[in-house]
């Protein structure tokens, strides 16, 4: 049975749309973390929802994803009294300021 070209094209477009929608639940790329010069971990394609903990406190984070992220000094992505989160844009890196403490978690900025 032959399938018409327009129907085949529509089916292909629909499948591509479904695949792209499924990918939106992940931050495409990698987040790398170091403590001083020592490598700690690389997280590939992390989910964009929720809080992500580093294995240990880190001093340097590089965001190689296509999403902006927030860095926290707490393990649960909360901001302690008098503290702040750090906004890290996509494709950039940042080092912790000595007075703020080590980064222990991150989340992705919405919208």
- Per-residue pLDDT, averaged over 40-58, amounts to 95
Q: Give the CATH fold of the 26-108 domain.
A: Gamma-B Crystallin; domain 1 (2.60.20)
pTM attached to this predicted model: 0.74
Q: How does pLDDT run across 73-105, given as a tens digit for each residue? A: 999 999 989 888 899 998 888 777 666 789 999
pLDDT of residue 5: 62
pLDDT of residue 52: 97
CA 109 to chain centre: 9
Using CA atoms, how far apart are residues 94 and 74, in angstroms rounded to an integer? 17
Q: How does pLDDT run across 61-72, given as a tens digit for each residue? A: 999 999 999 999
- Cβ neighbours of residue 29 under 8 Å, at least 6 residues apart? 44, 45, 63, 64, 65, 66, 67, 90
> What are the φ and ψ backbone dihedral angles of 10, each rounded to 5 degrees?
-60, -40
């Amino acid at each position: 049975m032959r399938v018409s070209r327009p129907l085949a094209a529509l089916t292909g477009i629909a499948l591509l749309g479904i695949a792209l929608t499924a990918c939106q639940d992940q931050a495409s790329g990698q987040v790398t973390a170091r403590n001083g010069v020592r490598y700690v971990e690389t997280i590939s394609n992390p989910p964009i929802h929720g809080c992500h903990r580093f294995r240990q406190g880190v001093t340097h984070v590089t965001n190689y994803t296509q999403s902006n992220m927030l860095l926290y000094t707490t393990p649960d992505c909360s901001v302690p009294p008098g503290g702040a989160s750090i906004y890290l844009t996509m494709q950039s890196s940042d080092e912790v300021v000595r007075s703020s403490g080590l980064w222990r978690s991150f989340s992705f900025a919405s919208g």
